[in-house]
Structure 1
Amino acid sequence: MAISIGALMTALASNYIIYFLGFVLIIAFDKMFNIFVRSLRVKVIPPIELGKTTGLIVLLNNMSPPLAGLIVASFVGFIDLQSIVIYLNIAAVLLGLGALNYAVSKVTSW
């Protein structure tokens, strides 16, 4: 949620202070989430499989900046940058809600 708020703040920023605060929200909560995932996967994943899964998780985490850059570069000629960030934010929120709904349905079906 905080990352989404930060993305909206950066997209709609009218001055550098608001942009900076939004950017800090994005970066800070992204790093906290990464630390949480790293500590959780050590408890959940068997030690023999940890190297394989760690590599995959690092790959997925590191794919987002180039992918975002590709999306922005692809659409910036057609749509203004603020709208692109807002649309990406909406898509990310919808994907997150869908994943949460799926996870909750799996847990409650046990």
Structure 2
Amino acid sequence: MASDLHERICNVVARIPAGRVATYGQVAQLAGLGGQARLVGYALYASDRPLPWHRVINARGEISPRGDSYSEMIQYQLLANEGVEFDKWGRISLKRFRWDGEMPPPASPSPPS
């Protein structure tokens, strides 16, 4: 069961496009786990998949503190490199940069040549 929850969370995070962010709560909701925002953080921490983890932020539009400022600086830089802008308090405008949650259909296989 935990593996299924982890997979659902990772599948949502994998679809967040560059230049957009999603909140932990938003990811939980899209994964069918409304009210389980902390579970998203745990899943991202435990995942060994190459995910755009840096695109997940807290509901205030901030990078969540982790106890080591190095990870926060990396997240800030990755988001800035994608064009996400921060205000003078280090917040991201969710109105401007929040992902709309559209889940594009999986890519269809190329027809045989």
- TM-score in same-fold range (> 0.5): no
Larger-gyration structure (1/2): 1
Q: Normalising by structure 2, report the TM-score.
A: 0.28
Q: Normalising by structure 1, report the TM-score.
A: 0.29
